[in-house]
Amino acid sequence: MDKSSDIVESLIRTAGRRADPPEEAYRQVFATASAAFREKTARRRERQWLLGAAAAAALVLAIALMLQWTPPSAQRGELARVERIIGGAEQATGDVWQALGKSRSSLGTGARIRTQADGRVALALSGGESLRLAADTEVMLDAPGRLYVQRGTIYVDSGPRPAASRLEIVTPGGTARDLGTQFELQVAGAALRLRVREGIVAIDRGGRSLTGNAGEQLAFDDLGSVSREAIATDSPAWQWAESIAPTPDMDGKPAAMLISWVARETGRHLRYESPIVEQRAATVILYGNIRHLAPLAALEAMLATTDLECVLQGDTMEIRTRDPIPPEP
Amino acid sequence: MADLVHVDRAVARRILGGDEAAFRELFDRFFPRLYRFVLARLGGDPDSAQDIVQQTFCNAIERLDTYRGEAALYTWFCQICRNVLADHFRRKGRGATRVVLLEDQPNARAILESLTAPAADQPERGVWREQVQRIVEATLDSLPGHYGEVLEWKYVDGLSVKEIAGRLDLGMKAAESLLTRARESFRDAIVELVGAREDLSAPIVRQLD
């Protein structure tokens, strides 16, 4: 033990245990403070309801005006769109929860979404990010570029975008800033678990900032301790996020587009057998629908109609041809 | 820090959203600390201390939607508490017992620097020891999270790292790391109070041995 530790120990030992307040004082103050808390929250709910009613009235007026004049940006105020829902999921803008709207429905500021024990949801955020909610998760769309995670597990895929457009995720246990990446964040009270699949994520917690890099898992307990361990980018731990991935429309698109999407969604490195195969993938056009298929299943189904095939080797996905491509004349 | 959303802001938001568990957790965390904060400034008047802490909670809850997370929530509560104390002293006038603590004085640093520890056989030793005790108590109360509790368990109750780990449901390494951070926080807080000079604590410690 060093000198400063000795001093700390001596001071605390000499001062002794801090005196606890009288039990009676605790009970009386708690009763009064609880009443103040309940009164405050009830008044806020009432005010929010009134504001909601006023907003609704304003919306009716706005719609009436829109019938006569269409504004330049009809999507203003939209923070997300529902991309896909599996199982039970609900949304609320006030205190009333109702079933989450169907695919493509719009969500604005203050919208809260929660999934039930069997539910998963994929949202497309207005900044271009894909946000996915695992089961038993609750989030609120706070503002453009910022969301609040109350509990549960989310997955974000923002693509390799510049840091200027980063997403901020506020949780009871710290704030995550996405620096262009794919990652999962699990929130349980003040405890956090961050799994980074690609890129970098910064966590600001209690005035300190830590970063997680691709292939790392950081666990923050509710007292502030942090532990790091490795997690493979193709680990089965990511499968829940793959299962709710919004499938892109591939009808009439080149196979290379689907291949890149599947590689990214499954956290695998993409390798073509040869430049000729890569060129082939860029020119083969796909037809059909892959809706609601998991990424690898979608790839298998689509490539079955072509002369290309996918071979998985560890964390690498190699694209080959079934038959040798004849040399160009 | 201004652009960062403080963790406490999320706590405040949960409370404003009607989360009873978040309120209870905050109350349990802040009540003993605020009570000691007030009691020391009232010269040990428990009835007034209870009234002031109660008023502090009521005022803080009422204004909680104005909290922006620029400072820790406990610091924000302390500021409200100071205002309630000031009102109390204004109302009571000369009849009130008002204790001006070292750390509340603008020249606290100078005073602490001139604080010389009396010899063991001198009668001032009791008063001086009380001062040290109160400063340590206030410093422990100002630490974030469970740091104060962890330091007390270790150095007052004599718990081993293993026992602390068990109490907090942590691994040994996590508990060791927590204890190290708690010690550093305590040392930093004391050093800040006495003026960025660790050696100022040394005379205190020598007297205590």
Q: What is the domain partition of chain B in residue ranges?
A: 7-95, 102-208
**CATH code: domain of residue A280:** 3.55.50.30
Residues A32 and A110 in one domain: no
Task: Select, from the ranges A74-78, B54-58, B201-205, the one with the highest average predicted confidence (pLDDT).
Answer: B54-58
Contact residues, chain B, for A224 at CB < 8 Å = 144-145, 178, 181
Contact residues, chain B, for A21 at CB < 8 Å = 31-32, 35-36, 39
Residues A171 and A199 in one domain: yes
Listed residues A190, A217, A239: the one ending a domain: A239
Listed residues A218, A239, A260: the one ending a domain: A239
**A1 close contact with B: CB closer than 8 A:** no
Contact residues, chain A, for B32 at CB < 8 Å = 18, 20-21
Distance from CA of A150 to the nearest CA of B (A): 9
Residue in A with minimal Cα distance to B21? A189
* Structural domain containing residue A308: 247-321
* Any domain includes A121: yes
Cα–Cα–Cα angle for B85, B90, B95, nearest 5°?
100
Contact between B136 and A28 using a beta-carbon 8 Å cutoff: no
**What pTM did the predictor assign?**
0.48
On the question of pLDDT at A66 being above 50, the answer is: no
ipTM more than 0.85? no
pLDDT of residue A320: 92
Which residues, 6+ apart, have CB-to-CB distance to A270 below 8 Å?
A: A259, A260, A263, A316, A317, A319
Residues A223 and A270 in one domain: no
Residues A92 and A231 in one domain: yes
Concatenating the DSSP letter of every residue in B74-128 gives HHHHHHHHHHHHHHHHHHHGGGS-----GGGSTTHHHHHHH--PPPTTSTHHHHH
Tell me what the mean pLDDT of segment A66-79 comes to. 48
| d(C-alpha A76, C-alpha A290), whole Å | 31
Residues A132 and A195 in one domain: yes
Contact residues, chain B, for A220 at CB < 8 Å = none
Per-residue pLDDT tens for A209-231?
788 998 999 998 876 688 899 99
Domain B102-208 belongs to what topology? Arc Repressor Mutant, subunit A (1.10.10)
Do A94 and A52 meet the contact criterion of CB atoms below 8 Å apart?
A: yes
3-state secondary structure B4-71: CCCHHHHHHHHHHCCCHHHHHHHHHHHHHHHHHHHHHHCCCCHHHHHHHHHHHHHHHHHCHHHCCCCC
Residues A202 and A97 in one domain: yes
**CATH code: domain of residue A83:** 2.60.120.1440
Listed residues A21, A44, A66: the one ending a domain: A66
Residues A170 and A282 in one domain: no
Per-residue pLDDT tens for A121-156?
999 998 888 999 999 999 999 888 888 998 999 999
Per-residue pLDDT tens for B119-157?
444 555 566 667 777 788 888 888 877 888 899 999 988
Average pLDDT score, chain B: 76
Domain B7-95 belongs to what topology? Rna Polymerase Sigma Factor; Chain: A (1.10.1740)
Tell me what the mean pLDDT of segment B62-89 comes to. 84
pLDDT of residue A152: 94
Q: In the numeric block, which tokens belong to residue A78?
A: 């939209």
Distance from CA of A198 to the nearest CA of B (A): 23
Contact residues, chain B, for A27 at CB < 8 Å = none
Distance from CA of A130 to the nearest CA of B (A): 23
**A34 close contact with B: CB closer than 8 A:** yes
Tell me what the mean pLDDT of segment A75-95 comes to. 82
* Any domain includes A71: no
Residues A251 and A223 in one domain: no
**Dihedral (CA of A270, A276, A280, A282) sign:** positive
Q: In the numeric block, which tokens belong to residue B88?
A: 């109390």
Domain count, chain A: 3
Per-residue pLDDT tens for B152-194?
999 988 889 998 988 888 888 888 989 998 998 888 877 776 6
